Structure 1
Amino acid sequence: MQWLFVAAGGALGAMARLFITTQLSPLTGHRFPLGTLVVNLLGCFLVALLYVVIVEKAMLPPYWRHLLVTGFLGALTTFSTFSLDALLLWQNGLHSVAVFYVLANVLGCLLVVALSWYLAHFMLS
């Protein structure tokens, strides 16, 4: 049954990723992969929140972790796309944009995971 939860969550996460990236791409065109950054930050925020709710606080049954964390967030977040985007920015001579993009993803995602974890503990205490 866990395979079905992962598959269902993955389908929804992939559709959410496509929706977010297509909605945001007109804002920057091909100059900056804003959609990838947003889904990575959103995914990092949600993974910590869901971890607290499902694992630490046991407010949802464990199968929700398969559906939401492994499936939905696994398909939503895009580390492989992030890596390709960074490489293409670099290869196109946009070195400072590539460095900013890598730092924004890595540091931003670490920051939102920590923020979400603390918010979840504060709100659920």
Structure 2
Amino acid sequence: MYKTIIAVGLGGFIGSVLRYLVSRLTAGVDFASLPLGTLTVNVLGCFVLGLLTGLFERTGNLSPEFRLLLTTGLCGGFTTFSTFMGENFSMARNGQFMLMAAYLIISLALGFVLFFAGYAFSAKIRL
């Protein structure tokens, strides 16, 4: 149990730091007035989780702790659903309903497409 908690915590620490770095790198970049940092980490996280899902299906030699470090920890710490919802709330409160709708649709569509792409890409990796 302690190994699992430490693994998830370590992955979460790494994912959170990476999320912070991406938000710093994308600060000031205007992409159709969308919150680019959150969009980037969420769709990239979908790709990585899809990739890991495909890889985990093909290999049985990874410990459950390592899998949780990468999925629940790293991907969970890297992506941010609560920030995504907060940004949508702010857009709605400011009357930016079209921007909010575009952000929701783009995030969900890209998230699904990139999860699937990551999963498909995993088949190309030799283990």
Normalising by structure 1, what TM-score?
0.89
Amino acid at match of 2:118: S
State the partner residue of 1:69: 71
1:60 match: secondary structure: coil
Counterpart for residue 47 of structure 1 = 49
Deviations 1:19-49 (A, max 9, x none): 10121021029x3211000000010000011
AA aligned to 2:35 is P
Q: Shift in Å at residue 65 of structure 1?
A: 1.1
List aligned pairs for 1:68-107, cutoff 5 A: 68-107=70-109
Distance 2:103 2:48 in 1: 21
User: Which residue in the other structure is 1:15 paired with?
Assistant: 17
Which residue of structure 2 lines up, in the alignment, with residue 6 of structure 1? 8
Q: Which residue of 1 aligns with 2:28?
A: 26
- TM-score normalised by the chain length of structure 2: 0.88
* Runs of 4+ with >6 A deviation: none
Q: Distance in 1 between matches of 2:89 and 2:126?
A: 40
**Matches of 1:114 and 1:58 in 2, distance apart?**
21
* Worse-matched range after superposition: 57-66 or 38-47: 57-66
In 1, distance between residues paired with 2:99 and 2:28? 18
CA distance in 2, matches of 1:101, 1:60: 36
Relative contact order higher in (CA < 8 Å, ≥ 6 apart): 2
- Structure 1 residue matching 2:62: 3-state secondary structure: coil
CA distance in 1, matches of 2:61, 2:27: 36
SS in 1 for 2:54: helix
Report % sequence identity: 28
Which structure shows the higher helix fraction? 1
Name the CA distance, whole Å, in 1 between partners of 2:92 and 2:117: 30
Q: More displaced, 56-65 or 104-113?
A: 56-65
C-alpha contact 1:40 1:77 (8 A) present in aligned 2 = yes
1:122 matched to which residue of 2?
A: 124
Cα RMSD for the two superposed structures: 1.8
